[in-house]
Amino acid sequence: MCVASYRPQRIRKLLVANRGEIALRVIRAARELGMRSVAVYSDADRDALAVRLADEAVHIGAAHATRSYLNTEALLQAASQSGAQGIHPGYGFLAENAAFAEAVQAAGLVFVGPSAGIIRRMGDKAAARRAAHTAGVPTVPGTEGVLQSVDEAVEAARAIGYPLMIKAAAGGGGRGIRVVDDEAALREQMPLAQAEAAAAFGDGGVYLERYLPRARHIEVQILGDGQRAVHLFERECSLQRRRQKILEEAPSPALSPQLRARLCASAVRLAEAVGYCGAGTLEYLYDETRGEFYFIEMNTRIQVEHPITEVITGVDLVREMLRIADGEPLRLRQEDIAMRGAALECRLNAEDPQRNFAPGPGVVSQVRWPGGPGVRVDSMVYPGCVVPPYYDSLLAKLIVWDEDRPQALARMARALDELELEGVPSTLALHRALIASPMLAAGEFDTNSLETWMRDWQEGKS
């Protein structure tokens, strides 16, 4: 059941429990729906653009996230103080925290997202795999449930076959994952993976999954109202560094129309089977050698890369999230959603790729964003703004659309050439080189390709 069904009244004022570009994105969508917005800010974000553009702003604590953006009590107090009826968590921080969703509901507020029960169920990768099995959605061969001992893992590995991934049952972002090639490595790495998972997510549970070394990472965007769901096609997310996405595109250049239809239908089937409410993303690995896809996990929130889906479908995902949370049934039918053209997104981070991606907080002295047809920039950066050292280093997302993939690549190259950013290091040079690479032009890559390409680029070989 959708949390919105418990709301005491419609959302007239929305608190955005986040910062940066996603806070701005939600504030803008709320305003377009006639909702007043409340920004929250830490000591480090007093002059943030979201604070300037929101209808109201409430200070919630010190710079460190545990004392501000991860502080449930401070966020609920800010909602009470401002008179907000709903809370949008954005992505990251508390967006996939079931206890936070429960606390919001207990306070009589609308949590813009799925119920705490669904967050808990689908956020646990082992439980999500079981849900996929029940819905008839294929998963990567692996263990069912959390492993209790190394000996149990060794026994399971003999049936699955090596190489394997040890994966944290909770959490995400590529953390808590270790690849092992044999039994000796499994015995050595499993206790380390359990300790890493416990430290990162407060849950040391792990499971095993067959490792697909040449797979693509493809995800399907869905919207649901607790009864019915639709998909908005897929995104190609294989270009990753240390399992963190660098560049995404939609649609995937690897899928045929027939395979796309099967993949997206499976995502809708699973979303409806669990009664999903809101915007969510189902992530898959696609094994090109076998032509098969496997569900791996679900993100029960809006994704960083959601804009490329918006520009190929014309659907404002954040507005739809707010409508659903406010009690409206899903407005879209599957036949209403068409895919047009191709889109790419480059994530611009305050990191130096020539120094092992060392973060570079500081003051942005100058910025010039690109423009023109088919160009969108989602960012909280302005000349003179401070990039604090306490949070994720994302500065901006540069999104382009064009009629087909080759033209979208050319448009992105042009937009990157126009972009200027001074005062802090950034990944701009990396994106300029990547967009011009033969690998990207050919669309022939997998989840390991970017790191190989980057080693050559850093050494001046590409």
Question: Based on the number of CB atoms within 10 Å of its own CB, is 461 exposed (0-12), middle (13-18) or buried (19 or more)?
Answer: exposed
122-157 b/e (C-beta count within 10 Å ≥ 16 → b):
bbbbbbbbebbeebebebbebbeebbeebeebeebb
Can you state the angle between helices 428-435 and 449-458, rounded to 10 degrees? Answer: 110
Per the DSSP assignment, residues forming a β-bridge with 94 are none
Q: Helix or strand or coil: residue 402?
A: strand
Kindly report the number of other CB atoms within 10 A of residue 366's CB atom: 10
Q: Is 432 a catalytic residue?
A: no
User: Torsion-angle region of residue 171: left (phi > 0), alpha (psi -120 to 50) or beta?
Assistant: left
230-249 b/e (C-beta count within 10 Å ≥ 16 → b):
bbbbbbbbbbbbeeebbbbb
Cβ neighbours for 420, distance < 8 A, ≥ 6 positions apart: 366, 367, 368
Q: Which residue has the tokens 């504030």?
A: 27
- Reported as half-sphere exposure (CB side, CA atoms, 13 A), residue 333 has a value of 2
Q: Considering 210, 301, 323, 376, which one is annotated as catalytic?
A: 301
Provide the annotated active-site residues. Answer: 301
